[in-house]
C-alpha cells in the first residue's frame, strides 16, 4: 500500500516524474495551475509502489510519498 501526493500549484509541469516512474503512472494534466503550467497527476493510484523515484527527480519538491 503506497501513495503519492502532488502539490499541483508547486509543480512546473516539466514531466521528469513521468519518465522516472517505472509503472508509467504519471502524466501531465490538461488543466493549468497558478503558475501557468500543466501539473503532473497520477493515474491508477493503486498500482503505485511508493518507490519515490518521482519525488527524487522532481526539481520542485512537489511530490510527497507515503508507504
Q: Which residues bind another protein (CB under 8 A)?
A: 1-3, 10, 12-16, 19-20, 35, 37, 50, 52-53, 55-61, 63-67
Minimum distance from residue 43 beta carbon to another protein (Å)? 18
What's the CA gap between 4 and 66, in Å, rounded? Answer: 6
Nearest approach in angstroms of CB 31 to another protein is 16
Beta-carbon-side half-sphere exposure of residue 48 (alpha carbons within 13 Å): 25
Q: Closest distance between another protein and the C-beta of residue 41, in Å?
A: 16
Tell me whether residue 29 or residue 60 sits nearer to another protein (CB atom).
60
Residue 66, Cβ density class (10 Å: 0-12 exposed, 13-18 middle, ≥19 buried): exposed
Amino acid at each position: 500500500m503506497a501513495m503519492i501526493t502532488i502539490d499541483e500549484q508547486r509543480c512546473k509541469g516539466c514531466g521528469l516524474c513521468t519518465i522516472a516512474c517505472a509503472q508509467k503512472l504519471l502524466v501531465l494534466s490538461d488543466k493549468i495551475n497558478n503558475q501557468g503550467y500543466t501539473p503532473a497527476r497520477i493515474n491508477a493510484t493503486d498500482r503505485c509502489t511508493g518507490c519515490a523515484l518521482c519525488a527524487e527527480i522532481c526539481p520542485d519538491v512537489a511530490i510527497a510519498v507515503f508507504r
